[in-house]
Amino acid sequence: MLDTGSTGFMLLATSLVMLMTPGLAFFYGGLATKRNILGIMIQSFVSLGWTTVLWVAFGYSLCFSGGEGGIIGDFQKAFLNGISPTSMYSNGKIPEYVFFAYQMMFAIITPALITGAFVNRVSFKAYFIFLTVWQILVYYPFVHMIWGGGLLAQWGVLDFAGGIVVHVTAGFAALASVFYVKARVDKDSTPNSIPLVAIGSGLLWFGWYGFNAGSEVAVDFITSTAFLNTDIAASFATIAWLIIEWSREKKPKFVGLLTGSIAGLAAITPCAGFVPVWASPIIGTVAGLVCYGAVQFKNKMKWDDALDVWGVHGVGGVLGSILLGVFATKTVNAAGADGLLFGDSSFLVKQTVTVIGTAIYAFVFTYVMLVIINLITPVKVDDDAQKGGLDAALHGEKAYDEGVL
């Protein structure tokens, strides 16, 4: 029977997750240089349209239809075949239409996360091909294997809202793209608008309540736990990053504070509805410190991940997914598992093995895919386009009237 409260909440959660993609565009757009604002923002916004087309055509079906215990689903629900306005999601509380839309918003934002790594280097045509193929051959299989009753779900792997499915896959795909396209001609990554970064960060944090709490797909005690865990972890990560950067650089940095919040949100994502509230400050603090260290390591290695996608999303997702294997408890969620602290070390092993395997697959596949795309159309723009900025070179537009600035 339809649960109107859960249905209303899930419609709201779907809207919140949709808002995260424009929020990401603002976050990345503010971090980019002035000549590349539109080039990075359009890569997020185009996913709103094109991913929806793919999801309606066959994406949802490949993720959530058939293929029990396997790697990918089937085409039984392609073009919403067999789904009517009165069809119910498997929990019996919300229409399947609502679940379809909710999961579509996850599919939209995941490939968009990768774009911050290769800002000012990749052509729009190559990105459009990348957006299509990467979803079909990386994102869809992991959604099915973990959330669609596939191989990893049957093995006992858990991911409440996307630590593995979203952040590990996107983070390590981002690192592979950096290795492939190599450094920018001009590595100056001074943000053009920190206020725009703050707006984007705020929208992401706001939307993340729908991202995490909504992943319970109902309104119950687990929903409230996931909501609170999300906010606490993000807050502790924010302060941890602020303090360590302040102590090292002798000044409190606003961009660092904002980046720390995203690290905490990424790390709590797989854990939100499976761990007790007392664990979220630990997860958030560790995320702030470890992700800050990952960014510093990236800088030392001279990997030109322009907007720190690997260090924040990739490492944050890895960390959270492994810590889930430590802090998870069935007293919080009976459908979950008991982690290391509650007597089951095997669950930690499963989480760790899955994270490593996911990272390797996402990295290798992305690198090979970029090699193949380059045979079809050049992936990397030429030096002149980089120097002049992609806004003008690829899109014939500019973000600001030069007479104003």
Q: What pLDDT score does 91 carry? A: 94
Alpha helices in 74-193 (DSSP H): 96-114, 124-134, 140-147, 151-155, 169-181
Predicted local confidence at residue 330, as pLDDT? 98
Distance in angstroms (rounded) separating the CA atoms of residues 34 and 31: 9
Max CA pair span of the chain: 65
Flag residues of the chain having pLDDT under 70. 188, 402-405
Exposed, middle or buried: residue 83 (CB in 10 Å: 0-12, 13-18, 19+)?
middle
Tokens 């030096």 -> residue: 383
Domains in the chain and their CATH numbers? 4-394 (1.10.3430.10)
Question: What pLDDT is recorded for position 401?
Answer: 78
- pLDDT by residue (tens digit) across 138-196? 999 999 999 999 999 999 999 999 999 999 999 999 999 999 999 998 776 789 999 99
Angle CA 56–57–62, to nearest 5 = 90
Nearest-angstrom CA–CA distance, 110 and 173:
11
Among 401, 304, 370, residue whose Cα is nearest residue 37: 401
What pLDDT is recorded for position 234? 98
Does this model's pTM top 0.85? My answer is: yes
Task: Show the tokens assigned to 271.
Answer: 């854990």
Return the pLDDT at 185.
87
Q: What percent of the chain has pLDDT over 90?
A: 95
